[in-house]
Structure 1
């Protein structure tokens, strides 16, 4: 399937259109909320919440006996919120750090959820449960009502972010200062955590328990490499998340036997890799380029500095004695000297290097700047 055919199918095929819209909206809202989880150093929060939601899905099925997505996701939401507040309780009431609390709740709830799934498989109505799709996701089960629900949650999340933007921003960077300003930090923290739980629960049907944390973190981690502004980071993360959903769905639809959820996560990982390498400010490529440039400049300054020290002890920098001393020194390379020649700081005549008047002045300025720093 080529690109033109895929775009045509998006507008004509109900299932493909529903999945594409659903994954795009899911990627946008998880990228938006994931920015706060990443900046608050709560990267494991998404993993813990998604795993904590599994027993809620199983319990909801055991109570109702029906495989209704809304009922199952409601159970997942309740279970996810319980797990989240247990994490907060462990951190506040004990001396355990956040990573320990997150890992503890993750393993406890996921183990309990797997136990319940094993029990359900032995029940007479096990074949109609289909709860295993929540482990790795099954985007093909998305229907129009699911997309509308995702749209409603995304709109609500955006409204709350705009309404409490100042409070979220202050809490994110200085919680103690937020308290001194009179803001209810507990309410703000609970509010944003609840929306994160809600977004994760909505994504379980598409991406699954195991991979949902990647949808929360990958777009935000990629966006962080491109900006220092919280506002721009939220926007970029939403765009990366939405693109991951659309591109992942397109790749999955164009090939046979490719699960949509894992492909979406792989595409999001590609965005992270590209950002880590090619980001102008933090990218590894540009960091290496800047490092090489700094090393080159340092060599030039060292060479110029040595030549200046020799030249300033002589009344005439073009005197044969001064030139002889310069050419007998082995501490600089021919390549460095040639670069100084191109800058007109050094001249090469008859195979002999000598410092020009312009080079002498440039070296003198370097020394004056260093003297001011020392003062």
Structure 2
């Protein structure tokens, strides 16, 4: 509690926490669209492409003002995104290959510029390399205001063009048929992602920035099938990651904020992947297990129904029909009894009314299914001939 209250009293912690929260908010919203458009690597490309922008801005101006460096990063990142889109439109190169080429080329150029600057005699160059992994502790009130301004503009545009962005994310062909400028809207959405990258460079750095675009959105996707809900959840997860990462880094010295923010977002994603009710792996495993058990019991009931009608339902007869042991067959009959489908009468078993009704329903379903598939299969064969 004291640490939480320190956000309101400690100047440095307040700025770091607000900066990380703003990054999570903007990154979560824009990352949702990048994830749905299958451009998860786009954030990584833009983040790595921003490094030469930072270096060029310093070489041209000779100052390390955060706003100047971030504008340089944004400009070069935007050019990298345009180059990537041009490659995809004019060549046959797959999207993942184009993203990989742009990422490695721009990041390699940035590392070369950074090495050149570090070996120059300019004493003002110290600290530029910290943009690779972030330098959240240096965030001041003016930086937070700049982040809020850039993020506010990006979120405002998303709100104004929400329907258009939603349409091009799910069905760009239909959007084009309606006369929407799909290419321009896609470029604008990519440009807004550049803004999110600019906000995050000082907090988490070039290397880790992509995680703040993808991890909250990936976590939110596990909880919902609606875009609006996904955006809200992704923004919430991003803000939570930023705040928790900043607070954890403040508990001890030499705990870097950026990596902790990303680690928190990754843990939220892992939790969602495992335990989200709709798509979580644990619940999916339980549903699969329950379905397999249901199918096994239904097959067992049908076998018991056949024996009940044409022979005698006993553990021995059931074991012979299912090619198992009498002990196993008796345990299976007890499972059916637990479902209320069979009852024991001295040394033999009988189907209950519920068992007869369920067996009849299953037999009817098995008869209807081939009749339903038959015309489809027949039509398909006729078309093929």
* TM-score normalized by the length of structure 1: 0.94
User: Which residue number corresponds to residue 318 of structure 1?
Assistant: none
User: Which residue number corresponds to residue 13 of structure 1?
Assistant: 10
SS class of match (2:344): strand
Contact (CA 8 Å) 1:44, 1:102: kept in 2 or not? Answer: yes
Query: Which whole-Å CA distance do the structure 2 matches of 1:284 and 1:132 have between them?
Result: 40
User: Which residue number corresponds to residue 67 of structure 2?
Assistant: 70
User: Which residue number corresponds to residue 244 of structure 1?
Assistant: 241
Q: CA offset at residue 128 of structure 1?
A: 4.1
Q: CA offset at residue 266 of structure 1?
A: 0.5
User: Which residue number corresponds to residue 34 of structure 1?
Assistant: 31
User: Which residue number corresponds to residue 354 of structure 1?
Assistant: 350
Query: Which whole-Å CA distance do the structure 1 matches of 2:49 and 2:93 have between them?
Result: 19
Q: CA offset at residue 125 of structure 1?
A: 1.8
Pick from 1, 23, 29: which aligns with 2:20?
23
Q: Deviations over 1:244-277 (max 9, x none)?
A: 0000001100022110000000000000100000
Q: Deviations over 1:157-201 (max 9, x none)?
A: 222122111111111111111010011111211111111011101
Pick from 287, 291, 303: which aligns with 2:284?
287
Pick from 361, 364, 369: which aligns with 2:365?
369
Query: Which whole-Å CA distance do the structure 2 matches of 1:63 and 1:335 have between them?
Result: 81
Structure 2 CA distance for partners of 1:56 and 1:326, relative to 1, 3 Å: closer
SS class of match (1:209): helix
Q: CA offset at residue 372 of structure 1?
A: 2.1
Matches within 5 A, 1:145-160: 145-160=142-157
Q: CA offset at residue 339 of structure 1?
A: 2.3
Matches within 5 A, 1:223-234: 223-234=220-231
Query: Which whole-Å CA distance do the structure 2 matches of 1:333 and 1:245 have between them?
Result: 57
Q: CA offset at residue 93 of structure 1?
A: 1.0
User: Which residue number corresponds to residue 339 of structure 1?
Assistant: 335
Q: Deviations over 1:194-253 (max 9, x none)?
A: 110111012111100000000110000000000010000010000000000000001100
Asked if residue 325 in structure 1 is aligned to residue 317 in structure 2, the reply is yes
Q: CA offset at residue 352 of structure 1?
A: 3.3
SS class of match (2:204): coil
Structure 2 CA distance for partners of 1:333 and 1:207, relative to 1, 3 Å: farther
Moved more, 157-166 or 12-21: 157-166
Structure 2 CA distance for partners of 1:116 and 1:288, relative to 1, 3 Å: same
Structure 2 CA distance for partners of 1:349 and 1:27, relative to 1, 3 Å: same
Pick from 173, 176, 180: which aligns with 2:177?
180
Asked if residue 134 in structure 1 is aligned to residue 126 in structure 2, the reply is no
User: Which residue number corresponds to residue 317 of structure 1?
Assistant: none
SS class of match (1:236): helix
Query: Which whole-Å CA distance do the structure 2 matches of 1:156 and 1:335 have between them?
Result: 66
SS class of match (2:156): helix
Contact (CA 8 Å) 1:60, 1:75: kept in 2 or not? Answer: yes
User: Which residue number corresponds to residue 47 of structure 1?
Assistant: 44
Paired positions, count? 366
Query: Which whole-Å CA distance do the structure 2 matches of 1:74 and 1:186 have between them?
Result: 24
Structure 2 CA distance for partners of 1:357 and 1:197, relative to 1, 3 Å: same
Contact (CA 8 Å) 1:308, 1:364: kept in 2 or not? Answer: no
Contact (CA 8 Å) 1:66, 1:129: kept in 2 or not? Answer: no
SS class of match (1:257): coil
SS class of match (2:189): helix
Contact (CA 8 Å) 1:327, 1:352: kept in 2 or not? Answer: no
SS class of match (2:350): strand
Gaps of 5+ in 2: 372-385
Contact (CA 8 Å) 1:278, 1:285: kept in 2 or not? Answer: yes
Q: CA offset at residue 326 of structure 1?
A: 3.7
Query: Which whole-Å CA distance do the structure 2 matches of 1:328 and 1:190 have between them?
Result: 68
User: Which residue number corresponds to residue 259 of structure 1?
Assistant: 256
Gaps of 5+ in 1: 315-320
